Amino acid sequence: MTGGSPADAVTLDLFDPGVVENPYPFFEQLLLHAPVYQVPETRVFLVASWALIHQVLKNQRDYSANLTGLLLMGENGCPTVFDMTSFGGKVDALANADEPVHALHRKLVLPYLNSRSVTALEDDVRTWVGERLAPFIRAGGGDAVRDLADPIPVMVTARLLGLPLQDSDTLLQWAFAGGDILAGTINLQRMMELSASTGAMAEYLGEAFDRRASEGHSGPPRQVMDALVSGVASGQISREDAVSILIVLVGAAGESTSSLLGSAIRLLAETPALQQRLREDDALIGGFLEEVVRLEASFKGHYRVVLRETQLGGSALSPGDRVFLLWAAANRDPAVFEQPNELCIGRADAGEHLGFGHGIHFCVGARLARMEARIVLQELLRASRSFKLSEPDGVRHISSIFVRRLTSLALSVAAR
């Protein structure tokens, strides 16, 4: 426990492999003893409580969303901060942008993620799910992450952005590489490899953007790419901004929805009675998914950098310090949620979770993620009499302090 932390009797290790795999007992200790906890050897503070996270989110004067650095386990085994500016500057697009830049980025993207636009994608999503689910059911199961949770979100993202569907596999690998950069558990050599991968994605997306711009599309934008081309042509954003927005959308959409789908299928596979309840009444799927987002947030947290001298939960913060807002801890805060560790469909406090963020940085793709997950679960439940884990002891998540995503999910399925 570092000096100045509120709970000197508690020893906490964010990088412990057991904590990385199952962070919830660790988060419970933070909530009980150290809702603002300084990571030893760093000026990074973990923020666990729902109320304190809201305090940060409401205060854009003292906290910036720009991603300038992140936690990393150093070569000496001690936590350190990796300077993201070594990648060529701060990350400043959508989720990592401050006002007024954030509002402009969001305005360009939101029309393609509203209710009407998302509904228009449903038939395609159902077709894609059916194409992948049929052989999965015939085979009596398989890896639900590889066969369902991973491919569907990135195909939806490709269609949304205006990218070729045949490039989906490559986009998926790039999306996961972006999340791996933030994992905190990789070494510097791997960080450089992932940086090169991100560079390749930026080059690909830049070329796709330039092709679309050269086509000279007239009339209303049809896809996100068109809107960004129009934004650059009108001088609202730069080409660099446009490519950065595309990078964020590819990474966040693939990573977060894959995580949601994997977690949802796992929870149903582990709970036969709940699985059957949803099979009999699929109107409950929406409420179930909200609980999955709350209990198994796709992103455990996001960073903010401190801009001015300030106080948070009794801890003094200085310019350049970083806070890591732990959505996954706040989603189980007993001060807000009754029976916080229990899955309760239709709970009165369901709308308070932070699984999609909050406020101006509420996830622009939340509606899309909910739609994709709902359709996958509907089709899986309709096509099966039951499904269960074929390797109950083999459930593992990727090694990351940032992302909560399954590496695989082996299912045995009984067809209807």
Quick: pLDDT tens for 102-142. Answer: 999 999 999 989 999 999 999 999 999 999 999 999 999 99
Confidence (pLDDT) at 196: 87
The C-alpha atoms of residue 74 and residue 187 are separated, in whole angstroms, by 7
Residues 6+ apart with CB under 8 A from 196: none
**Inter-axis angle of helices 101-109 and 239-270, to 10 degrees?**
70
pLDDT of 4 strictly over 60: no
Residues 6+ apart with CB under 8 A from 101: 92, 241
Confidence (pLDDT) at 253: 78
CB 306 within 8 A of CB 324: no
Per-residue pLDDT tens over the stretch 236-270: 999 999 999 999 999 887 889 999 999 999 999 99
CB 274 within 8 A of CB 267: yes
Per-residue pLDDT tens over the stretch 175-203: 898 888 889 998 878 888 888 888 899 99
Its pTM stands at 0.93
The C-alpha atoms of residue 101 and residue 263 are separated, in whole angstroms, by 33
Per-residue pLDDT tens over the stretch 151-172: 999 999 999 999 999 999 999 9
**Confidence band (pLDDT; 50, 70, 90) for 88?**
low
CA angle 387, 392, 394 (to 5 degrees): 125
> Torsion-angle region of residue 115: left (phi > 0), alpha (psi -120 to 50) or beta?
alpha
pLDDT of 400 strictly over 70: yes
pLDDT of 44 strictly over 90: yes
How many helices (H) and strands (E) the chain has is answered by 16, 12
CB 285 within 8 A of CB 374: yes
Q: Which of 32-41, 87-96, 100-109, 162-171 has the lowest mean pLDDT?
A: 87-96
pLDDT of 3 strictly over 60: no
Confidence (pLDDT) at 1: 31
pLDDT of 39 strictly over 90: yes
Helices marked H in 271-386: 272-280, 285-295, 327-330, 366-383
pLDDT of 82 strictly over 70: yes
**Confidence band (pLDDT; 50, 70, 90) for 9?**
very low
DSSP notation for 359-379: GGGS-TTHHHHHHHHHHHHHH
Is-cis flag, bond preceding 151, omega within 30? Answer: no
What number is the average pLDDT over the span 88-95? 68
Q: Which of 2-16, 20-34, 42-56, 117-131 has the lowest mean pLDDT?
A: 2-16
303 φ, ψ (degrees, to nearest 5): -90, 150
Place of tokens 């989110």: 57
Per-residue pLDDT tens over the stretch 208-237: 999 999 987 665 667 899 999 999 999 999
Express as a percent the part of the chain with pLDDT over 90. 77
Token representation of residue 124 = 């395609």
Per-residue pLDDT tens over the stretch 362-390: 999 999 999 999 999 999 999 999 999 99
Q: What is the DSSP letter of 88?
A: S
Residues 6+ apart with CB under 8 A from 201: 171, 174, 177, 178, 247, 250
Q: Identify which of 339, 355, 346, 368 has the alpha carbon closest to the alpha carbon of residue 277.
A: 346
| Residue 302, strand partner residues | 325
Confidence (pLDDT) at 216: 75
Higher pLDDT, 95 or 274: 274
The C-alpha atoms of residue 132 and residue 168 are separated, in whole angstroms, by 14
Per-residue pLDDT tens over the stretch 315-356: 999 999 999 999 999 999 999 999 999 999 999 999 999 999
Mean pLDDT of all residues belonging to the chain: 91
What number is the average pLDDT over the span 393-415? 94
Provide long-range contacts, Cβ within 8 A and 24+ apart, for 51-55. Answer: 51/333, 51/335, 51/336, 52/312, 52/313, 53/325, 53/326, 53/327, 53/330, 53/354, 53/358, 54/358, 55/312
Q: Identify which of 23, 2, 4 has the alpha carbon closest to the alpha carbon of residue 14.
A: 23
The C-alpha atoms of residue 121 and residue 286 are separated, in whole angstroms, by 18
